[in-house]
């Protein structure tokens, strides 16, 4: 049986659940919406005939029993980034022709639902995998992986698998990820600046408040109560690809530098996307250049706080990066906190890569190969894993952007690829 129609209906129902991280509640560590999405997914999996486990609202298991207890893992997530502004379609789902709009359609509700129905079709065919397939769905991938941290205290991760939360053909190199939180005193308590909601999103709006009445070319300025609010607009993008966005905070930090050269430190240090301002510009042949995204900044009442998302090459050393940054910021601010994920690298000759590439090539008719990304997927939570889809080469990636969307024809092709891939990896 082909489950593509049922798959689309279930995806629409899942996308209609707002699973942006919210305040924790009892049984819902990442908010009511994330718990609702998890419940929906696990109930659906149970209806389709699979064994399920709710891991205390942090994550869930869907098991397809095999001939052995050895696990092959597939890791997806049900939480999403905030909707943001500027949508022309309903972020909670709107079907227009061959396109489904909605937050999570590409990242990562769409792939999670496709995998679930691919497993159902295989089960109906009578396929019995040699390894038990465990589909793990988390609820905090976009905000710090507290779901994975909790999960690993309860369960041992599968030794091998993939995450449908990247690009095709195969992502086998993921840069190291660091979210550095900087704080310190700001020299002028009459100035405030605010931009960004998440480290891994390029801010598309920023606001600067100054005493007095001002007007600056290229900015929208509003005067009220003896203060001027300066508004800057940019273009949002994923924090791992700051070059694809236009950081609104950079524009206002540059304006501050022009207004008062004594404040140049903030623009010079934090407004470079290659890390040069922090003295960490670097690259390697395996994974490319380091990137830096000023994702959150808040200046208020003489205090400075900022969070910078850094993706560093797989062969570089985290401790060296931290040491270089400390030398640059010494005396101006401090690293108040940081969140770190080590890089991922699976060699091209690994059997997992061959099995997945064979499936990709058979279904698409295209030659497969491996690539590196700055993004981070659940793949790095397993000893050996790679990112495998869902974005096809000819597909527009709208992850973390307004009007996130997926073509139904691509969902159907994804279904066929994952069926073949699962067979290859577990037969």
Chain position carrying tokens 């997914």: 41
With b for 16 or more beta-carbon neighbours within 10 A and e for fewer, the 65-75 pattern comes to ebeeeebbbbb
φ, ψ for residue 312, nearest 5 deg: -110, 150
Q: Is 94 a catalytic residue?
A: no
- Cβ atoms within 10 Å, residue 31: 20
Report whether 235 contacts 202 (CB < 8 A).
yes
Q: From CA 231, how far away is CA 260, in angstroms rounded? A: 18
Q: Tokens 């993921």 correspond to what residue?
A: 174
Q: How far apart are CA 71 and CA 169, in angstroms?
A: 23
List, as own/partner pairs, every contact residues 89-95 make where C-beta atoms lie below 8 angstroms and the sequence separation is at least 24, other chains included.
Answer: 89/403, 89/405, 91/404, 92/15, 92/16, 92/17, 92/18, 93/12, 93/15, 93/16, 95/12
Q: State the Cα–Cα distance between residues 237 and 245, nearest whole angstrom.
A: 5
Q: Would you give the DSSP letter of residue 278? A: G
The CA distance from 353 to 360, in Å, is 10
Spell out the alpha helix ranges (H) of 93-135: 109-125
Is residue 404 flagged as an active site residue?
no
> Looking at the chain, how many residues does it have?
427
Cα–Cα distance, 79 to 59 (Å, whole number):
10
Out of 18, 121, 140, 141, pick the active-site residue. Answer: 141
CA atoms of 412 and 106, how far apart (whole Å): 13
What's the CA gap between 41 and 198, in Å, rounded? 26
* Residue in 79, 174, 395, 404 annotated catalytic: 79
Question: Where do we find the tokens 């100035």?
Answer: 191
Active-site residue numbers? 79, 141
């Amino acid at each position: 049986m082909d489950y593509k129609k049922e798959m689309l209906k279930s995806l629409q129902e899942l996308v209609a659940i707002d699973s942006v991280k919210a305040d924790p509640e009892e049984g819902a560590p990442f908010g009511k919406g994330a718990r609702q999405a998890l419940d929906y997914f696990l109930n659906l999996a149970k209806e389709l005939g699979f064994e399920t486990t709710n891991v205390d609202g942090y994550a869930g298991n869907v098991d397809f029993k095999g001939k052995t207890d050895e696990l092959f893992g597939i890791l997806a997530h049900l939480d999403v980034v905030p909707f943001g502004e500027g949508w022309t379609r309903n972020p909670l789902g709107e079907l227009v022709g061959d396109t489904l709009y909605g937050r999570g359609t590409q990242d990562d509700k769409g792939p999670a639902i496709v995998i679930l129905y691919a497993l159902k079709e295989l089960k109906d065919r009578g396929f019995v995998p040699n390894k038990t397939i465990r589909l793990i769905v988390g609820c905090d991938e976009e905000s710090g992986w507290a779901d994975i941290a909790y999960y690993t205290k309860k369960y041992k991760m599968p030794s091998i698998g993939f995450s449908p939360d990247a690009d095709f053909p195969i992502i086998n190199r993921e840069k190291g990820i660091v979210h550095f939180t900087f704080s310190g005193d700001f020299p002028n308590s009459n100035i405030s600046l605010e931009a960004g909601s998440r480290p891994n999103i390029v801010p598309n709006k920023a606001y600067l408040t100054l005493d007095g009445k001002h007007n600056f070319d290229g900015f929208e300025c509003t005067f009220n109560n003896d203060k001027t609010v300066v508004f800057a607009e940019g273009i949002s993008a994923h924090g791992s690809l700051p070059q694809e966005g236009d950081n609104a905070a950079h524009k206002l930090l540059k304006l501050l530098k022009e207004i008062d050269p004594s404040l140049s430190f903030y623009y010079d240090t934090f407004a470079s996307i290659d890390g040069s301002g922090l003295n960490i510009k670097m690259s390697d042949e395996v994974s490319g250049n380091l990137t830096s995204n000023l994702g959150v900044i808040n200046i208020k009442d003489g205090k400075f706080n900022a969070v910078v998302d850094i993706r560093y090459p797989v062969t570089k050393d985290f401790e060296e990066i931290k040491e270089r940054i400390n030398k640059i910021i010494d005396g101006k601010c401090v690293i108040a906190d940081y969140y770190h994920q080590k890089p991922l690298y699976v060699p091209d000759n690994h059997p997992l890569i061959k099995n997945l590439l064979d499936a990709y090539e058979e279904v698409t008719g295209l030659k497969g190969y491996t690539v590196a990304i700055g993004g981070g997927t659940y793949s790095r939570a397993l000893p050996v894993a790679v990112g495998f889809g869902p974005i096809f080469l000819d597909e527009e990636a709208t992850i973390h952007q307004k009007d996130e969307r997926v073509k139904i024809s691509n969902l159907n092709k994804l279904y066929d690829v994952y069926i073949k891939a699962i067979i290859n990896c577990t037969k």
